[in-house]
Amino acid sequence: MSRLKMRAMIATGMVLALTGAGYAGPSAEGADGQVENPEYVGWAKYKVGTTAVWKTVTTEGGTTKETTTTKKLIELTDNKAVIEQTTTSKKGDGGTKTKTVNVPRLVSEAKAKQFVAPSGMKEDGTESIELAGKKFSARWVTAQRSGDGGESTTRVWVSDTAPGGLLKKETKVGESGKTTTMELVELKSPKKKKKSEEDAASGEAKWLTDYDKAVKLAKKEDKMLMLDFTGSDWCGWCIKLDKEVFAKPEFKEWAGKKFVLVKVDFPQTIKLSAKVKKQNEKLQKRHGVQGYPTIVVLDKNEKPVARLGYERGGPDNWISIADQTIDEGDGTKED
């Protein structure tokens, strides 16, 4: 049997035997006889914070028991996936149980081979299946086994694009009439954090437009304020300063450590909100700005420290002049 064929079959066999609970076999990368763990492969396609929910419904003798298993990917490395697993039973005294499961990237080939052909395997195939609002290309396998409750038939659907590999599992026991169905019912991506303008600027060279928020951030992080009085869409020297200095990584790195940046814009074609327009006019009057570009540096308490403009020579020269001007306290007098 080819290695490719074996790995495809391992994916089904492992899930059939382990029902997605994780396999704690050897995980030393590069060791002899190691193959990729299909459960890890499934989780590795998702972002940390992804949550998947499986519902299990068991019916026997007119009684139905429902259980939900929620798995959340809390860590993903080159060697393992760490899953927080919570199981909740709606009936019975099972309650809610939570545990952490480590899913290694590699498992022993010898161990994996035990699942290539599950005991009682009768047939297998492929099909498209839709669960949790998403379509998956799945492989299924049907197996028959005999036990104390009689002969049982189990069919499992797996996919390497499903979280943990497992999509669905159905088991029917002939004599007792017991049936158990487990399937993926919910798949949630991690929530994207909405960054406020203030949060986005923290520790980064980002230009804010809200002056009051900038002042609060400067005090919080013990930084100076740098106000860029500009005509961003019409002032030639302003545009040159943006392209030659402010857009360069050297400036961004330097400014991110020392300043909270504020863009005080007076555009001709760009529409500003009434609030920002009024704010900018007030700042222009306060600092006596009559031409663009004018860069006003303030301390965290809004006291003027320095005043700068366009300088040739790129970011290194501009930064050097700025440092010297600020150190000397030159340019503190308003026009």
The matching CATH number, chosen from 1.10.3470, 1.20.1260, 3.90.820, 2.40.360, for 3-188 is 2.40.360
Q: Which residues contact 271 (CB under 8 A, 6 or more apart)?
A: none
pLDDT at 197 over 60: no
139 closest CA partner among 124, 154, 161, 122: 124
Average per-residue pLDDT for the chain? 83
What Cα–Cα distance (Å) separates residue 71 from each residue in 101, 247, 317? Answer: 9, 43, 54
CATH class of 197-328: alpha beta
Over residues 33-51, mean pLDDT: 88
Q: How would residue 21 be classed by pLDDT, with cut points 50, 70 and 90?
A: very low
pLDDT at residue 62 tops 70: yes
**Local structure of 306: helix, strand or coil:** strand
- pLDDT value at position 334? 46
CB 174 within 8 A of CB 152: yes
The mean per-residue pLDDT over the stretch 280-288 comes to 97
Percent of the chain scoring above 70 in pLDDT = 79
Model confidence pLDDT, tens digit, residues 167-194: 999 999 877 788 999 999 999 998 775 5
Q: Give the span between the Cα atoms of 255 and 295, in whole angstroms.
A: 13
pLDDT mean over 200-222: 85
Q: What's the whole-model pTM score?
A: 0.52
d(CA 13, CA 28): 22
Residue 196 CB contacts under 8 Å (≥ 6 apart), including other chains: 213
Domain boundaries, the chain: 3-188, 197-328
